[in-house]
Amino acid sequence: MEILQQLTFLERGIIAGLIIGFICPLVGAFLLVRRITIISEALSHITLTGITAGVFLSQAVIWLNFVNPLYTGFLFSLAGSLLVEKLRQIYRHFQELAVPIILSSGIGLSAVLISLAQSSYNEWYSYLFGSIVTVTLNDLFFIMFTGLAALLILGAFYKELLSISFDQEFAETTGISVNRLNFFFAVLVALVISMSMKVVGILLVGAMVTLPVAASIQIAKSFKQVIILGIIFGETAMIAGIALSYYLNIATGGVIVVAGVVILIITNLVKRLTQAGTAAS
Amino acid sequence: MERKKERPYVLEIENLSYSYGRRNAIENINLKIDEGSFLGLVGPNGSGKSTLIKSILGLLTPQKGSVKIFGKPLNKFRDWSRIGFVSQKANSFNSGFPATVYEVVSMGLYGKIGMFRFLTKKHKEKIIEAIEQVGMEDYINQNIGQLSGGQQQRVFIARALVSEPSLLILDEPTVGVDARSVNNFYTMLKQLNEEKGITLILVTHDIGAMSEYVTDVACINKFLHFHGGAQEFEFQQEEMMSALYGHDVQVLTHNHDHHHHHEYDGGAPQ
């Protein structure tokens, strides 16, 4: 605790970034193979609603002024995540509907709450596009706590989640409870999205979940490699993004995403070249 | 014969019925399966074979009647690692899935190991052993999506075998597998049955190819029409076929699904 309090704002930002760069691809790999990476978009927007609600509450209700908007962001993200599951069951034949429903509700509610709350443009800007220099000690605690919770869930259910993602029917016949697992997975995704908010920003959270694994799946031979390479790419994008955004004074999330896109392009080129190489030999 | 009396049946199905909405898929099925048998479960498409299998596996809850596995009622049965399942390969997995043969086979152990635990050295040995059993050891680190249909099916058998089940259920495992591989495939099943003593249930509409390998046959078309030894079945085959075929025509007129007709013709012996 003492050590954490002595950190400079930049060190806090870097630690937060490294945690996010590690966990986003880890969960992203599961979203990828389950073909639901798009859910991250819906959840990031409903998280914005939570954050605006938090800001609004801390202003409007005196005894709630200690509320860190990240926590209300997480609560909304969790509710959204469970709701997505529910909507996918209700619209069994049109499962893709769940995402636009949650996304547009999220952004609509946010707009309402933003106009009610009185905040500076800068505060919203950092939530939209991410910023490492505004990571407070309280934010860092939140990121560490949610990161740890996400790792615990993954540690507990990694095998089960993989089996269900590959072949749900078979997984059920080995005694794995799909409903229970889907619940924990929803919690996991909600944790990861709300955790990334401060550094990467609402508009770009989906990128951190998607880009590293989209790059790694191009060259990975196994699921394990998708995860390991995804983490390496995620951390690389994160470090490059933080460094460049600090020295050039541009939005952190933006640079991180651009770095992720560059990695994606490189892996695609590498795949092309190696395939051409094997075809020629 | 004496052994059978001492041991419970692997599977006891009593008065089992299941319907999807108004349509009855299976009705009043009674079927007992002895340990060590190799049962061919045949019937035309839409005859309720898959419904019966899903009821056995606990994927569907019986609406009427009961299912007992290893002497235990379905809702009390927990030891799912004793049952291996190989489904119709076709639409059950995404061929772009980034998993190796080793990773796919290890999934057969995941339900058994439990949460917060990872594969031990012993588990890893078992995985390799199961891969060797189906003759896929040369492909252990290959991506599952890059294999042929027959090879993929072998991998799925290994995934079902790795938990060392005493009952192996295969639902139309040869769909999408080329004709030459099918015979090798059945030979491999027969070996598993004879050498390892695994009870097998093979669901198929391909009566011709199957009947050389199985010990028992059950025919269903909504109802159970026949259950007995393979030789007895050979004897009554023609009669059986026409009985099933007759019902098949009824199904045809209900569903307007002409596809059934052709496939069933393909399976008929010359």
Share of chain A above pLDDT 70, in %: 99
Q: Are A174 and B80 an interchain contact pair (Cβ–Cβ within 8 Å)?
A: yes
Residue of A nearest to B162 (CA): A174
Pick from B80, B94, B143: CB nearest A221: B143
Query: How far is C-alpha B158 from the geometric centre of its chain's CA atoms?
Result: 14
Q: How confident is the model at residue A44 (pLDDT cuts 50, 70, 90)?
A: very high
What does the pLDDT read at residue A144? 96
What does the pLDDT read at residue B268? 38
Residue B269 Cα distances to A153, B234, B237, angstroms: 54, 11, 9
Least confident segment among A137-151, B69-83, B185-199, B228-242: B228-242
Confidence check: pLDDT of B196 > 60: yes
Q: pTM score, two decimals?
A: 0.86
Confidence check: pLDDT of B4 > 70: no
Q: Are A176 and B85 an interchain contact pair (Cβ–Cβ within 8 Å)?
A: no
Q: Please report, to the nearest 10 degrees, the dihedral formed by the alpha carbons of residues A35, B114, A75, A8 taken in order.
A: -90
Which residues from chain A sit within 8 angstroms of residue B57, using beta carbons?
A: 172-173
Q: Are A167 and B92 an interchain contact pair (Cβ–Cβ within 8 Å)?
A: yes
Task: Provide residues of B within 8 Å CB-CB of chain A.
Answer: 57-59, 78, 80-81, 83, 85, 87, 92-94, 97-100, 102-104, 107-108, 110-113, 115-116, 118, 141, 143, 159, 163
Which residues from chain B sit within 8 angstroms of residue A177, using beta carbons?
A: none
The answer to whether the beta carbons of residues B97 and A33 sit under 8 Å apart is yes
A160 touches chain B (CB under 8 A): yes
In angstroms, the CA B79 to CA B113 distance is 12
Which structural domains are found in chain A, ordered by start?
Answer: 2-204 (1.10.3470.10)
- Exposure on the CB side of residue B161, measured as CA atoms within 13 A: 25
Architecture of the domain whose range is B11-245: 3-Layer(aba) Sandwich (3.40)
Residue-wise pLDDT for A125-152, tens only, equals 888 888 888 899 999 999 999 999 999 9
Question: Is residue B34 classed exposed, middle or buried when 0-12, 13-18 and 19+ CB atoms within 10 A define those classes?
Answer: middle
Confidence check: pLDDT of B250 > 70: no
DSSP one-letter code for B100: B
Q: Which residues pair with A140 in a beta bridge?
A: none
Residue B93's SS3 state is coil
Q: Are A167 and B107 an interchain contact pair (Cβ–Cβ within 8 Å)?
A: yes
Least confident segment among B35-49, B80-94, B105-119, B196-210: B80-94
What does the pLDDT read at residue B5? 53
Residue-wise pLDDT for A217-227, tens only, equals 999 999 999 99
Residue-wise pLDDT for B218-249, tens only, equals 888 888 888 888 878 777 777 777 777 664 43
Helix residue ranges, H only, chain B: 2-6, 49-56, 101-113, 121-133, 149-161, 179-196, 207-210, 230-255, 259-267
Two structure tokens written together for A156: 């507990």
Per 3-state DSSP, chain B is made up of helix, strand and coil in percentages (nearest 5) of 45, 25, 30
Best interface-test mutation with B: which of A174, A188, A226 has the largest number of B CBs within 10 A?
A174
The answer to whether the beta carbons of residues B91 and B110 sit under 8 Å apart is no
Q: Are A33 and B87 an interchain contact pair (Cβ–Cβ within 8 Å)?
A: no
Best interface-test mutation with A: which of B51, B106, B115 has the largest number of A CBs within 10 A?
B115
Q: Where are the domains of chain B?
A: 11-245
Task: For residues B259-267, give the mean pLDDT.
Answer: 39
Confidence check: pLDDT of B148 > 60: yes
Residue A168 Cα distances to A46, A139, B124, angstroms: 28, 37, 23
Confidence check: pLDDT of B186 > 80: yes
